[in-house]
Amino acid sequence: MRALTKYYFDYAATAPLDPRVLRAMSPFFSHSFGNPSSLYRLGREAKLAADQAHQIFIDTLGGSPTKFIFTSSATEANNLAILGAARSLRDLGNHVIVSAIEHKGILSVASALEAEGFQITQIGVDRDGIVDPQELSSALNDKTILVSITTADNETGTIQPLKNIADAIKKFRDTHQQSHPYLHTDATQAAAHLNLDIDHLPVDMLTLSAHKLGGPKGIGGLLVRGEIKLEPITYGGRQQNDLRPGTENISAIVGFARAFELATQERREEFQRIKKLRDYLERTILKNIPKVILNGHPIKRLPNFLNISILDIEGEAILLRLDDKKISVGTGSACNSQTLEPSHSIEALGLPHEYIHGSLRFTLGRYTTMSSVNYALKQLTIIVKDLRKMSPLNLKVVGTGKPTSVPQAFVREGVPHFVRRKKK
């Protein structure tokens, strides 16, 4: 496993399956293969495994009463949270707030709600990628039923002030003597690194994904406080509180729970180990490669994230050259391989396109070592020097002169970070 992931720096995209997770899953592929809705022994074994997995999430994430709904992915969980809550509350209001840096699994759902007649407010972020709780508070009104703010951005790893956001929402609820708006967060990127106990992180709904934790792909989940009523988005049988019909994928559920359990147990130790490697990677790049900009908050970010813009060259060109050296990284210069549009999360920081197109995302994980970091640093330095020789660009960093700061020349005066977008 370590050999396969030696130069892998894209844990934000996915993580390799942990062998300990695979061992936990194995019996449910062929031995304990029963349908948990069946009454005979094989069915009871499967149901017991699903119930035990469910309890792991409830015990770890806290809150009472709560339920955990297993889905096919974080995207489906986000759909269930946002569509399910908005539709069930439409008699009380039609206003939903999201941030500009949400994953497309959130923003696309918001667009779908807009087509149904809901009003969508999109909150911008500051140059570090952080939502201002006061700006969000000013966007709340008597029609607001739901707010969805990511725990940590999936491009820069910037951690959002969810506690302050939750306090602002609670103050609004108390003032108006009502139970809504509800607060949902997509914690997919944060789950391996932060304490997500909802007594500590006071949200109403929380989305997770297994494959970012070393679990299997094709399984995610949504934690929901007990008093929240969701309208289902799929229909069929009565599994999972009538919210997610269909025969449960027991092997994936068991694997998800085991991956989450391991990530929780090893979180503190891994946080420090990975942060040390990330900080070394960052310091060395900034020292050895000129004209590099740090994207996102320099401190308030997940320990495994480093997003930088290397000026004068394309991120994709660097990525492909690194790939030739068996080094895997991500780039924000294009959202994915199907589009040439730059990442909306990086755009939200207010960076010029010349900077966005030179962005790279390094994300570290369980199998990252100092030797792999040093190898990546050596190759990156050589590749950047080589590509810059061929580049016609020669951008200048102006303003503060600090290599990690956004150039003041590109900061447009008077442009607010708070943007409202409503259905026309």
Contact 189, 212 (CB under 8 A): yes
pLDDT of residue 365: 97
For 170-190, give one letter per residue: b (16+ CB within 10 A) or e. Answer: eebbeeeeeebbbbbbbbbbb
CA distances from 144 to 29, 82, 198 (A): 45, 13, 22
Mean pLDDT computed over 257-262: 98
Closest alpha carbon to 18 in 363, 329, 361, 254: 254
pLDDT at 303 over 60: yes
**Residues in a beta bridge with 146:** 96, 182
The alpha-helical segments, DSSP class H, found in 62-190 are 74-88, 104-115, 133-139, 162-176
The C-alpha atoms of residue 68 and residue 206 are separated, in whole angstroms, by 9
Closest alpha carbon to 302 in 180, 381, 212, 417: 212
* Strand 144-148 versus strand 182-186 pairing type: parallel
Contact 294, 281 (CB under 8 A): no
Mean pLDDT computed over 115-143: 96
CA distances from 151 to 4, 123, 185, 253, 302 (A): 30, 15, 6, 23, 10
pLDDT of residue 251: 97
Which residues have C-beta within 8 Å of that of residue 277, sequence separation ≥ 6?
Answer: 364, 368, 369, 370, 373
pLDDT of residue 352: 84
Lowest mean pLDDT among 131-140, 144-153, 305-314, 387-396: 387-396
pLDDT of residue 92: 96
**CB under 8 A, 24+ apart: contacts of 83-86:** 83/109, 83/112, 83/113, 83/231, 83/233, 84/230, 84/231, 84/232, 84/233, 84/243, 85/145, 85/146, 85/182, 85/184, 85/205, 85/228, 85/230, 86/113, 86/118, 86/145, 86/146
- Residue whose entry in the numeric block shows the structure tokens 């755009």: 347
Residue 408 is classified by DSSP as: G
pLDDT band at residue 118 under the 50/70/90 scheme: very high
Structure confidence by residue, pLDDT tens digits, 157-202? 999 999 999 999 999 999 999 999 999 999 999 999 999 998 888 8
Contact 222, 68 (CB under 8 A): yes
Structure confidence by residue, pLDDT tens digits, 78-97? 999 999 999 999 999 999 99
pLDDT band at residue 410 under the 50/70/90 scheme: very low
User: Considering 22, 56, 286, 335, which one is annotated as catalytic?
Assistant: 335
pLDDT at 403 over 50: no
Q: What percent of the chain has pLDDT over 90?
A: 76
For the entire predicted model, the pTM comes to: 0.90
Q: What mean pLDDT is reported for the chain?
A: 89
Helix, coil or strand: residue 219: coil
The answer to whether residue 359 is catalytic is no
- Tell me, what amino acid is at 385? K
**Residues in a beta bridge with 119:** 95
CA 409-412-413 angle, 5° bins? 110
Which residues have C-beta within 8 Å of that of residue 393, sequence separation ≥ 6?
Answer: 311, 312, 313, 354
Mean pLDDT computed over 117-132: 96
The C-alpha atoms of residue 219 and residue 282 are separated, in whole angstroms, by 33
- Residue whose entry in the numeric block shows the structure tokens 């040439």: 340
pLDDT of residue 64: 72
Mean pLDDT computed over 38-67: 91
Mean pLDDT computed over 354-368: 93
pLDDT at 344 over 90: no
pLDDT at 420 over 80: no
The C-alpha atoms of residue 52 and residue 46 are separated, in whole angstroms, by 10
Lowest mean pLDDT among 9-13, 74-78, 137-141, 388-392: 388-392
Tokens of 42: 């094989």
pLDDT band at residue 340 under the 50/70/90 scheme: low
pLDDT of residue 415: 28
The C-alpha atoms of residue 28 and residue 250 are separated, in whole angstroms, by 7
